[in-house]
Each structure stands twice: as structure tokens, then as C-alpha cells.
Amino acid sequence: MKKLVLATAIAATTFGAVSTASAVEVSANAALTTDYKFRGISQTNSGPAFQGGFDVDFGNGFYLGNWNSNVNFGGGTSGLEMDIYGGYAGEFSGVSYDVGLLKYYYEGSANVSPDPDTLEVYGNLGYAGFTLGVSYSLGKDYFALTQAGVGNAAIANPQATDLSGSTYVKLGYEYALAENITLAASYGITSYSEDIFSNGARIDGYSDYSVGVTYTVGKFDLGAAVVGTDNDAERAFGKDGTETSLIVTVGTSF
């Protein structure tokens, strides 16, 4: 998710330093993309998305932020994803670090079961262009997924949706090909705390990958990336939303 990338990039000073009003910085971002894929799976039914948010840097390593995107999961299920996050980021001996909480909120999901709203704690480490990130689910609800073998019984038995402890681990690398051209690649693994049942398939996790290039022109970033998943994701979430595809994005910050 882009909000994690933005959070990792925030510069920090010594832990515990007291921030002042003059040290607080607010920035905003906006982007248009041909497909919003989250952990390799399309969130817009393979359609375009307009995305944007803001970040507040308190000048002492602490930050808060919000990021939003339209979503469309097919079958008439569409709306708005709103992410709220906060944490602390810094650097020590050339190693950057970032820890925080992230709440995924889906507008209009109050009466939906299983509940797609998800709460995760995350941590990232970066060194020499490499980034290792881990996200851990704190709540029982995990993106409206259901434990295997339960199916619609989840409505009568809320425990059937308990996927707390599910994790996502991502290894990424960025390399500057030129002053305004950056190559980026990543590989992620989703591991469910319990086997899930989706689209008639039973899986315990899946992997995703991305390889792309970003070209910066003034205040605009033009990006193109090939994004895909393994066969387990295709079986559980359908070929249309998981097959390897080229995604083009234009974004800016201000």
C-alpha cells in the first residue's frame, strides 16, 4: 500500500524529542492508476482508481496519515476504502525503521458479514535500497475472509471469521537507474492464521510480486509495474483479479 511507502520515507529526529508547532509538516498526495492491486489482488475489479491522502509529520519521528481509494469487488459491491495510520519512523547507523498501526476501513461495510474492516500493526526495516516489512493482523476480521470449512455459517458463528494473527511479509528493493528513474521490485507472502475458504478453494496463503519503473518529471511520478500472484491466489480470488498485468500510475505530492 502506498501509505506505508510514504510513512517509511518520513525523516525522524531523536526519539522522545518534543515537537513544536513550527516543526509540524503536512503533505498531501494524489494518484490515478489503471488498477488498484493490494497484495497482488485487484481491489477495483481490474478497473481504474483515483487515490489520495495526507501525512502529518510531527518533526520528532511520529506521524499520522490517511489514504483513500475507490474500490469495486464485483457483484455490485463498490465503495470507498479509507486507511488511517500512525507510527514512528527513524534511522540508526544507516538502517531506517518504521513501526505503527494501520486501520483499513471500508465505507458502507457496517452491515456486511464477514466484516472487511481490518486492523494491522506493521514494522519496516530498510538498508542500502532493501526494505523488509511485516504486517500482523490484530483483530479477528481480516478483509471479509472466512475460515475453511465454515462457509455461510460465519453469520451464525462469528468465530468462523477469526483470522487474527494472519501476516504479510514483503521484501522490496529500489535502485536508481538515473537521477529521475527508479527501478523497484518486491515479493510478498500472505500467511493466514487459519486456512481460508474462498471461491470454492481452500488455501493457507499465497505470494505476490511486482517489478516496475518510476520516472519523475517535476512534481509528477509516472510509473509502470508488472504485478502478479501465484496459483493459490488465482484459485481463491479468481483469475481476473490476480493474473499478471501491467499497471500504469501517475501521481504527485504537495
Summarised one tens digit per residue, pLDDT across range 169-185 is 999 999 999 999 999 99
Between 127 and 153, whose confidence is greater?
127
Average pLDDT in the chain? 88
The mean per-residue pLDDT over the stretch 156-176 comes to 87
Q: Using one digit for the tens of pLDDT, what is the confidence trace for 197-239?
A: 998 899 999 999 999 999 999 999 999 999 999 999 999 999 9
pLDDT level of residue 22 (50, 70, 90 thresholds): low
Domains present along the chain, CATH in parentheses: 2-253 (2.40.160.40)
The sign one gets for the Cα dihedral 30, 32, 38, 39 is: negative
- The 10s digit of each residue's pLDDT in 85-110 is 999 999 999 999 999 999 999 987 65
What is the C-alpha separation between 101 and 2, in angstroms, rounded?
15
76-83, Cβ contacts within 8 angstroms, sequence gap of 24 or more: 78/45, 79/106, 79/107, 79/108, 79/109, 80/106, 80/107, 80/108, 81/43, 81/105, 81/106, 81/107, 82/106, 82/107, 83/1, 83/3, 83/53
Per-residue pLDDT band for 77 (boundaries 50, 70, 90) equals low
- Position of cell 465505507? 107
